[in-house]
Amino acid sequence: MTGAGISTDSGIPDFRGPSGLWRNDPDHEKLVTIDYYLADPDIRRRSWQFRRDSPARTAVPNAAHLALVELERAGLLDRLVTQNIDGLHQKAGSSPDRVLELHGNMSGVLCVRCEARSTLAEALARIDGGEPDPACLVCGGILKTTTVMFGEALPGEVVAEAVRATERSTTFVAIGTSLQVQPAASLAGLAVRSGARLVIVNAEPTPYDDFATELIRDPIGEAVPQLVARFTA
């Protein structure tokens, strides 16, 4: 399971780390909270600007993403559960059917009323054309990216498959995640209860460190390739 920390070497800031978005701008969390987003047009305008200016749009996979592709090609990766919305695992070459995106993906756009779908590129083109808060072209409803905002439920089938994969795992590796956001964090505990080894690769302590077989504090871009090399040796 990967969190924001795996993408920081690709130039995408994390959320809860020492230089994370939430610590630098606590008000920023409103931009990705569904109740604020639906109720306040100004929040929506700021949220679209955040998406337009996000470094995730032009980011490329780093050594850690590429190492997980090698783990898959070696036949040792069953599922890749990610809390990230940047799509970098797929860009690196991970099989889309093995990647379980718990929080959705920023590349798509959804109408909250009629559920019509379009792309982020289309929405941003309308914003650049003078529509700071573009409405659905089908019904006039509010548009949002196909990401799971705070206050929204995670996609049920994706969560269910993540649980199934966790229960059958022999080794569960948590990479670059604070293991604080539920229900994703609970997968680490489920892995331990199911008899798996728990390996945590994260610079900061997590609530599950005491249950880990191995804790790795080295930089993720170095630690993950080294870990994969050990697994595939």
Query: What is each CA distance from 92 to 4, 44, 62, 210, in whole angstroms?
Result: 16, 31, 8, 32
Residue-level pLDDT at 181: 86
Query: Which pLDDT value is given to residue 26?
Result: 63
Residue 103 bears catalytic tag: yes
Residue of 28, 65, 89, 103 with catalytic role? 103
What's the confidence (pLDDT) of residue 24? Answer: 59
Q: Give ∠ CA 155-85-12 in degrees, rounded to 5.
A: 155
Map tokens 């956001």 to a residue.
Answer: 181
Give the residue ranges of the chain where pLDDT is below 70.
15-26
Residues 4, 15: contact at Cβ < 8 Å? yes
pLDDT digit string, tens, across residues 113-159: 999 999 999 999 999 999 999 999 999 999 999 999 999 999 999 99
Going by C-alpha positions, the residue among 218, 190, 173, 201 that lies closest to residue 80 is 173
pLDDT at 51: 92
The conformation of residue 170, written as its DSSP 8-state character, comes to S
Residue 16 is predicted with a pLDDT of 55
The tens digit of pLDDT for each residue in 158-171 reads 999 999 999 999 99
